[in-house]
Amino acid sequence: MSVVVRLHAARDLRVETLPEPGELGAHQVEVALGAGGICGSDLHYWREGRAGAFVLREPLVPGHEAAGTVLRTGAGVTRVAPGDKVAVNPSHPCGRCARCREGRENLCEHMLFLGSASVFPHAQGLFRSRFVLGEAQLTAVDEDIALAELACAEPLSIGLHAVHRAGPLLGKRVLVTGAGTIGCLCAAAARLAGAAEVSVVDLADRPLAVARAMGADRTLRGDMLASADLADAADVAIEAAGSAAALQTCLDAVRRGGRIVQVGTLPPQGITFPANQIMVRELELVGAFRAAHAFDWAVQALRTRRVDVRPLLSAALPLSRAQEAFELAADRSRSTKVQLIPD
């Protein structure tokens, strides 16, 4: 039997068993979970029964940040072989809609994104001891890199895509709000893109210490800053905290004519829109959703250690202790990235 973690409703997380996968299709691959990271969206589903606009309507296996080892392959598989370490891309765009055809697959009108309630029936995720995927969603890695690190390819791809949406950063000052996994990886991606200075703002000391370990030049406590302290402090601001107050910090910090990239998921009830600030200072406010083409870039950055994600990794707990793992992941005073591993 295969162990699976399933959310039945907000705060109703259960560890269950399912029959092992059966016969594979020609281009399918069976993978044994090596490590699966608990993401902010997983925590939203667990705490609130929703992640932004995506609401649980049936039991959902969460989890979309994963790496593992190939167990079996279908007869037509050529990209991977049994025994390979693989990074898992949770995005499965249709490849046919208008957005896919213009090269923006992350905005696919028929996207199947693993571990998400964005469609119904829901796209079941990766918090299970073994799973079956199409070979196109797997990238084999030969380097001596831990599966825990490789499981960070998906969140790193979010940071890389956010930086891509920010435009050229060479020699620019970048401010990131939120020192969680995504904020820290946005900071690392900004450094990779040539930013002259990367500052990270958060409300707690522990996440800021992790941001420094990930390469932030400056770390600031947002609750100890006045608006005037940040005036014209950045050319580009990346909002990765998912709070209205953090977005206001970005608005206060970015220079006239600057750009703000919204990465964090803001509360579903919405916010007061700061249209006058955007108008008077000719600011650009753009969204960054998921990762488009950045997944393979992320795998390459990890396998060469151009981005070292080890400072993010806080704990790894077996699937049977999923409830404990989610509680730990929700406690920012104790953790940054908590992962689930096989029992």
pLDDT at 68: 98
pLDDT at 214: 96
Put residue 73 in one of left, alpha, beta given phi > 0 → left and psi -120 to 50 → alpha.
Answer: beta
User: Looking at the DSSP assignment, which residues form a beta bridge with residue 69?
Assistant: 32, 85
Structural domains for the chain: 2-152+309-341 (3.90.180.10), 158-287 (3.40.50.720)
Which has the closest alpha carbon to 74: 33, 132, 124, 127? 132
Question: Token pair for residue 43?
Answer: 């925590």
E-state strands within 191-253: 197-202, 218-221, 234-239
Judge if the upstream peptide bond of residue 121 is cis by omega within 30 degrees of 0. Answer: yes
pLDDT at 20: 85
pLDDT at 292: 81
DSSP 260: E
Could you tell me what percentage of the chain is helix, strand and coil, using 3-state DSSP and rounding each to the nearest 5? 30, 30, 40
Residue ranges for the chain with pLDDT beneath 50? none
The pTM score is 0.94
E-state strands within the chain: 2-9, 12-18, 28-37, 50-51, 54-55, 65-73, 85-88, 91-92, 112-113, 130-134, 138-141, 173-177, 197-202, 218-221, 234-239, 254-262, 284-287, 313-318, 337-341
pLDDT at 1: 82
Count the alpha carbons within 13 Å of 146 in the hemisphere toward its beta carbon: 12
pLDDT at 167: 97
pLDDT at 181: 97
Given strand 218-221, what is the order of strands in its sheet? 218-221, 197-202, 173-177, 234-239, 254-262, 284-287
pLDDT tens track for 73-82: 999 999 999 9
Query: 141 and 86 in contact (C-beta within 8 Å)?
Result: yes
pLDDT at 225: 83
Q: How far is it, in rounded angstroms, from Cα 196 to Cα 214?
A: 15
pLDDT at 170: 98
pLDDT at 50: 94
